[in-house]
Structure formats: structure tokens, C-alpha cells
Chain A
């Protein structure tokens, strides 16, 4: 009788763990290779960005928990560190000092994924949406840059979590690529941030 109870208990534990998958994106991100804009900016990270975890449970499917909070910070530290001459990191409630040319606030809007079973292919796919808010030192909103990113990774035999992590990393790098390519060429951002002297310098 005791062995029967133990067997049932272990079976339940096995089934429950098999029914949920967890990913924590642990990779570092490289700095972009580019001429930095001649600006000193504050980068403000909200708690919702720092602590972002996407959790989803569909019927008859394993649930997924994808933690990209810490990875968001590493991504934007590297990206903005290469995009601007100088950055200082601000917490959610900080406004920064008067010497800042602008405050950049990345906002996480949405995270979606698709499994091979959903698409009938062998690909894990991830879509991420950010908003990059560009704020003047006096608090006025200069620009809002929407960023849509996509990543995909081939299904690895027996390791779905590794495939999902890879697709997420590719999507985050895609977001960095979009921001690096579009930020400095956006007319509203340039006119809002760059004085004629700085425009010449850049």
C-alpha cells in the first residue's frame, strides 16, 4: 500500500513538471559597432521591464514561463552604451540631473510565441514589442519609437527550452538592430535631441 502511494506521488510530480517549461534568458549582448551620438543620456528602467516574465498556459499543452527581465537590462545597457557618448542608468522614480541631454525609457509592450505544433513547422518563433520613449530633461516627451522584433529557432530534439531561449535571444537582438538602425535616422528624434552644433559633430 505504501509503495502504491509513493508510486502515485512520484507519477503526479513527474506529470506536473512535464507540464510546465521554464526559460531564463542568460546570455550577454554585444555593443553595437557604430559612431556614438554626441549625447549624454539617462536610461531609465522601469520595474516592469526589469522583472518581465511571460507566463502562458494553454489547455492540453505544457505551460511556459519565459523570464527576460534581467536580459532586457543587459540588452539595453550594451545597446545604449554603444549608441551614445555617455549614459547613466536611472531607476524608475529618478529624473536624472540637468546635465543630461535626454532620458531614454524602454518599455516592454508585448511578448508572444509560437511552438512547432502551432505552426506545423519545426520552428519556435518569438515576437516582442517595445516602445522606446525619448524624453527631454524637462519631462516633455520628444518621441516614441515603436520596435517590433522577431526571432526564430529550429526545434532541437528533446530540448524545447533551449530552442525557445534561442528564438527569444534572436528576437531581442533583432530589437537592438532595429533601434540601432532607426534611432539616429529618425527626423523627430534628431531635431529634438541634436542642436545644429551637435548635428554637425554627429
Chain B
């Protein structure tokens, strides 16, 4: 009986482990040469919710931390500090929606000085979000005096699709775009004890995008 239970548990965990896989794709389009000097920094902002964008604050914070991390990290200014420095022209209602709005922003009195004081060279606009695309199965749990347990199999699939648009404030051009698409299935099998195997899709998207962004910003060479 114990051997059968172990056999079934191993089978379920194996199937679940195969199911909790993640597929990641990162693409890059480079429109202009990049490079960052000592003393220069970037800022990472979520595109305005006025455009229907729903990029999570957690994702912006994750990308910010990963880009700044380590020996090859890039200096990143906190998004709230940059919004305050250029207030109110980066508030959701007034923020530039695409590159054609950038000249108007740069022509406003005091803006060029505020940008120079901040040391920010590149603005990275993040769009996209993580959604649950499908789910199924079920879990039943019960408890009685002296015993409790769950039985069943629940699963769900998440997809993260994000885009980063990089503007060079010094040259007033769009340097390029990066996009990441990650999907994964999470599974919770349960025989008495539930065993969650979670596909951390948003975390994988953050890691992929941040790594590529660091290389993109620091990279050099002719436009694509």
C-alpha cells in the first residue's frame, strides 16, 4: 500500500514538474546607437493607464532592481523621483504617448534643465501585463478531528507579454524596442498534501527583459 502510494505520488510529481514549464521569448529592435557614460542613468516608467495600459507596479520595480544589480548594472533613477523632477508633465494625463510628443515636452520651460540635473539619459516605457489565460481541474480538501487532507489536480496557465520602448533624451530619438513573451503552466497535485508547482511567469519575464535591457543600453555600434 505504501509502495503504491509512493509510486502514484512520484508519477503525479513527474507529470506536474513537466507541466510547470516556462517558455520565454525576447526580441529586440535597435533603431539608433546606444551607450551610457559614467554619471548618466536611465529611468523606467510604466506607460500611462490613460492609454489602457495595466503594467503592474511590481513588474516595474522588478525590472528596475534587476537592471541596477551587480557589477554590470546600469544606474537607474527611481521613477517617482523622475516624475517629481518633471512634475506635472509625466503624470498619466499629460505624459507623452509616443515619440512625436517628445519635442513638445522638451520645449517646455525648465524641462531641459530638470533632465540635465537628474542625469537621466534614457527613458524606458514599459507596456503590457501578466494574465491568466486558462485554468482547469480542481482540488477538494476536508478536515476532521485528528485528520485533514486534499485530493485532486488543479492547473492554470499564465502569459506575460511586455514591451519596453527606449527613448534617448540626449538625441531626442527612439533607440529601439524590446519585447518579451513568457507563458507557463502551474500545477497543484494533491494526495493528502497539496504540492504546488508554480510557474513564475512574471518573474521570468522580468529577468529576461531586464537582462536584455542592460545589454541594450550599454551596447555600442551602428543602428540596425
Interface residues of chain A, those whose CB is within 8 Å of chain B, are: 29-35, 152, 154, 170, 173-174, 176-178, 180-181
**Contact, CB under 8 Å: A177 / B88:** yes
Nearest-neighbour CB distance to chain A for B97, whole angstroms, equals 14
**Contact, CB under 8 Å: A181 / B94:** yes
Nearest-neighbour CB distance to chain B for A164, whole angstroms, equals 15
Closest to A181 in B: B94
A33, A152, A178, A180: the one contacting B114 at CB < 8 Å is A33
Question: Chain B, 84-113, contact with A by CB distance < 8 Å: what is the 0/1 string?
Answer: 111111011110000000000000111100
**Contact, CB under 8 Å: B87 / A174:** no
Question: Is residue B8 contacting chain A, with contact meaning CB distance below 8 A?
Answer: no
Residues of A within 8 A of B86 (CB): 33
A31 CA / B89 CA spacing, docked (Å): 11
**Mostly helix, strand, loop or mixed at chain B's interface?**
loop
A35, A173, A177, A178: the one contacting B110 at CB < 8 Å is A35
**Contact, CB under 8 Å: B92 / A174:** yes
Residues of A within 8 A of B57 (CB): 154
A31 CA / B85 CA spacing, docked (Å): 9
Ordered by A's residue number, 12 sampled pairs between the chains whose C-beta atoms are within 8 Å are A30-B85, A31-B87, A32-B87, A32-B88, A33-B86, A33-B87, A33-B89, A34-B108, A154-B57, A173-B87, A181-B88, A181-B94
**Contact, CB under 8 Å: A154 / B56:** yes
Nearest-neighbour CB distance to chain A for B58, whole angstroms, equals 8
**Contact, CB under 8 Å: A30 / B87:** yes
A84 CA / B72 CA spacing, docked (Å): 45
